[in-house]
Amino acid sequence: MKVLIVEDTQKLAESLAEHFILGGHGSDIAGSLEIAEELLAVTHYDIALLDIMLPDGNGGEFLRRLRRRKIMVPVIVMTARSEVSNRVDLLDIGADDYIIKPFDFVELEARCRAVLRRHIGAEQTELTVGDITLNPLTAELRTPIGLHMLRNRELRLLEIFMNAPQIIFTKDQLTDRLLTISEAVTENAIEVYIGRIRKKLTGCDASIETIRGLGYKLVTA
């Protein structure tokens, strides 16, 4: 799961980002609506956490603009107790859920999972290529050998390949999709994660093939 945190209180934003990273998820922080818009223009997020009162505008109006432009990233609004009376309006303009500050991270994470289940539930919740099946919500990879739990970056990387089997991805393309702005990029990161996935795919019809000079692709026997 890749999360955009739109929150101008630095301590809260960094605390949320740290919790998500420890849980194996990627996260970016936007301290203003302007930065949030820039990030949404270039990065795919699975969910966004949106504060209402930002330095450069109102989060509710920002959400309304996103929905008018058909940007349908799931959004959970983080609202102060004094703003709860606006919750119906927020849901009406496109918020998927809301949570009242201060909140427990366990509750927030549960709400994130529930929102993602609703969004993905009507679509394909699992990806299958050859004899392997990936559940992006639970990070479970089922193979003829058994069940494997994937770490966050392994999950995100394998999901890219399984959404586009037989398509060649360059290392730069994978790096852009895999890593967040707040995370450091090591030179051999992609090779490391692909190596871990290949071990889990040992004995399977599906495998990640290196295309010399071009990149990598998911193939089936």
Question: Domain of 147: which CATH number?
Answer: 1.10.10.10
Residue-averaged pLDDT of the chain: 87
Q: Give the containing element (helix H, strand E) for 132.
A: strand 132-135
Query: What residues does 133 pair with on adjacent strands?
Result: 128, 142
**pLDDT tops 90 at residue 217:** yes
CB 39 within 8 A of CB 84: no
Q: Are residues 29 and 132 in the same domain?
A: no
Write the CB contacts of 126 (distance below 8 Å, at least 6 apart in sequence): 133, 134, 135, 136
Statement: residue 104 has pLDDT above 90: no
Sign of CA dihedral 116, 118, 120, 126: positive
Q: Which two tokens stand for residue 203?
A: 């004995």
The Cα–Cα gap between 142 and 22 comes to 24
Q: Are residues 161 and 68 in the same domain?
A: no
CB count, 10 Å around CB of 195?
11
pLDDT at 84: 60
Which two three-digit tokens encode residue 87? 């919750």
Q: Per residue in 63-90, pLDDT tens?
A: 999 999 999 999 999 988 666 667 778 8
**In 23-151, alpha helices (H):** 33-42, 59-68, 87-92, 105-121
Indicate the number of domains in the chain.
2
Asked if residue 150 and residue 61 are part of one domain, the reply reads no
User: Which residues pair with residue 58 across a beta bridge?
Assistant: 53
Residue finishing a domain among 92, 121, 150: 121
User: Residues in the chain, how many?
Assistant: 221
Judge if 131 and 171 occupy the same domain: yes
108 and 184 housed in the same domain: no
Q: Are 135 and 39 in a shared domain? A: no
pLDDT at 122: 44
Q: Out of 47-61, 167-181, 184-198, 202-216, pick the least confident.
A: 167-181
Write out pLDDT tens, residues 161-180.
998 899 998 888 787 666 55
Residues 115 and 26 in one domain: yes
